[in-house]
Amino acid sequence: MAKPFSATGPVAGGFGRTSPRPIRGEVVTDAPRNRAVEVDPALERLSWLMDSAIEIPGLKWRIGLDAILGLIPGFGDTLTSLVSIYILASASKHGVPKITIARMGLNLCIDYVVGAVPVLGDVFDAWFKANNRNMTLLRRAALAASGETRRARRGDWLFVAGVIACVLLVLAAAVVGAIYVAGSLIQEIRQLF
């Protein structure tokens, strides 16, 4: 069995781009590949499991639990987003800049909101691979910070908590919306009979 990830990024072979372009204010480096990077292997494994663990035979596309569990209406996307928040929360420990943490949170929100659309959202989840994108951002920041090993300040933790709170607010709003729509549908069906 091939390694699911490498020190330089997730395995290629899925459909969709898994290495996001840098944005203004983000620390990105082309550091030498032989420099040791201290990114938790459990985070790498979690990202691989959520986005790339299963190869679709004959297509050479890779999907993970995110796309599969997303098939469960309402519950699946919420569960996978909660798992993905762990990677986001770990970013501060690695000295990731706030703009990168915000981008990681945006990746999760996009994945959750679009992924909630039945069927098309699951195809989007298989293509977008938010966890692989976030691990790429985390790895780049770890490469950039490996020379100056910066400790997370209280302001960094508050910012991460704020981003996580926003992501959880989006999740909660979607769950409440789904419950409201389901209740309305049940009332309409009852009125028919």
Q: 52-72 pLDDT, tens per residue?
A: 999 999 888 899 999 899 888
Q: Sorting pLDDT into bands at 50, 70 and 90, what band is 3?
A: very low
Whether 12 has a pLDDT exceeding 50, the answer reads: no
Place of tokens 């419950």: 179
Give the span between the Cα atoms of 42 and 83, in whole angstroms: 13
Answer whether 81's CB lies under 8 Å from 112's CB.
yes
More confident residue, 132 or 90: 132
Give the span between the Cα atoms of 41 and 101, in whole angstroms: 19
* Residue 16: predicted pLDDT: 47
* Residue 96: predicted pLDDT: 81
